[in-house]
Amino acid sequence: MNIQLSNHFTYRKLLRFTLPSMIMMIVTSIYGVVDGLFVSNFVGSNAFAAVNLILPFVMIFGAVGFMLGTGGSALVAKTLGEGDTIKANQIFSMLIYVLIGFGVICTILGIVFLKPIAILLGATPELLSDCVTYGAVLLLSLTAFMMQTTFQTFFVVAEKPNMGLIISIVSGLTNIVLDFLFILVFQWGVVGAAAATGISQVVGGIIPFVYFLRKNDSTLRLTRPVWNGTALLQSCTNGSSEMITNLSLSLVNMLYNFQLMKLVGVNGVAAYGIIMYVSFIFSGVFMGFSFGSAPIISYHYGAKNHSELKNIFKKSLVIIGGSAFILTLIAEILAMPLAKIFVGYDAELQAVTSYALRLFSLSFLFSGVNIFASAFFTALNNGVVSAFISILRSLVFQVIMILWLPVFFGVNGIWLAVVVAELMTLVITLTMFAMKKKRYHYL
């Protein structure tokens, strides 16, 4: 049964519609996990630390893809809800072509400044070569990565979430197979890891481009673009919270690595890299649900269907709350096994990682609602509130805690920084929900 944005959503129907997006986010997160597993176990802990040191810089550029994807999809879904299909496709097409041009520019700038940035991030002489090599190869596929993340949100708007899931799985399998070939068989080290990820991103970006470029049975198609500066500005403004989240994540990761290099050394950076891999997978559930439900919210907001907006909002909070409890419990139980998968060859690093993961995982109790809130206000085309929540959550509160808590609690303060930051953000999130309920009629 094909589920449409205009439908009434029960719990079952809402989960069925958002499940492909959740699985897609998990599969996408596994890209980095697979690279980490192969690099850590078959290249070495120094190479693993180098990859995790430079990766946040590369991901900074990818934030633009999330901005245009989430902000643009909200605007396009709202336009569809208003009944203007032609305008919706014109906006969609313009955003994709602008993204491609911007991606090429970012690739050039990234490669030019890669080495000095690596040194600035604290790369030691033994890490520098691997940092630059991995980053340069990955930057070559940056445009495709930005296209991949953007198209995934538009697949949901096009009422084809399963298509997005299939492409993500194909891309993920490509990454796994190529990691095996390039690292284990050909012995290419970090070059192989970066090439495997890059090629998988090209697969994930080009297939949907061809799909939307040709005639298809969805509501969206790439047509001759019509310049619409207002729509571009609105998409950027509306999606700024998602860009800020991803940009802040990269900046905060750099700060984490910088602090850990001072307090713990290479082992601290390696442990944090593993925690990030696990966190991406677990948070992918929250992000996938939020991105998957956002077009539904935008559509009914555009259609002024307040009763369905209330229905989706209440059911979403129940789903997010239940998932938060379950995921936290799973993370606490699997902390040691997960650490062993990555660094079972080093008992000391394994102990550090499992202990840190147990502390860090407490943040999952609060992060789900915060992630949903940011996506929810983006879907309502209120980029200001969404950005406000994102800035506090992913940048302001975390930076303060990363710098302040270690003064009193040492390295434990670093692992708990995100927990405190998420809890503080939850207070802001609940306040925003209460303040804006009369304007948007979701309560």
pLDDT tens for each residue of 257-295: 888 878 887 788 778 888 888 888 888 899 889 988 988
- Please report the pLDDT score of residue 91 as a whole number: 93
Q: In which band, very low, low, confident or very high, does the pLDDT at 222 lie, cut at 50, 70 and 90? A: very high
If you average pLDDT over residues 428-438, what whole number do you get?
95
* 13, 87, 166, 355 from 294: Cα distances, Å: 15, 20, 20, 35
Weakest mean pLDDT among 27-31, 178-182, 263-267, 268-272: 27-31
Of the two residues 38 and 423, the one the predictor is more confident about is 423
Q: In which band, very low, low, confident or very high, does the pLDDT at 242 lie, cut at 50, 70 and 90? A: low
Give residues with Cβ within 8 angstroms of 379, minimum separation 6.
74, 77, 293, 294, 295, 297, 298, 301
If you average pLDDT over residues 322-340, what whole number do you get?
93
* 115, 139, 217, 228 from 105: Cα distances, Å: 18, 11, 33, 21
**Residues 220, 75 contacting (CB under 8 angstroms):** no
Task: Give residue 243's identity as a one-letter amino acid code.
Answer: M
If you average pLDDT over residues 408-425, what whole number do you get?
93
DSSP string for 165-205? HHHHHHHHHHHHHHHIIIIIIS--HHHHHHHHHHHHHHHHH
- Please report the pLDDT score of residue 396 as a whole number: 92
If you average pLDDT over residues 57-80, what whole number do you get?
80
Write out pLDDT tens, residues 359-414. Answer: 999 999 999 999 999 989 988 988 789 889 988 998 899 999 999 999 999 889 99
d(CA 159, CA 93): 17
Residue 32 has pLDDT above 70, yes or no: no
**Residues 121, 57 contacting (CB under 8 angstroms):** yes
- Please report the pLDDT score of residue 289 as a whole number: 93
If you average pLDDT over residues 218-230, what whole number do you get?
88
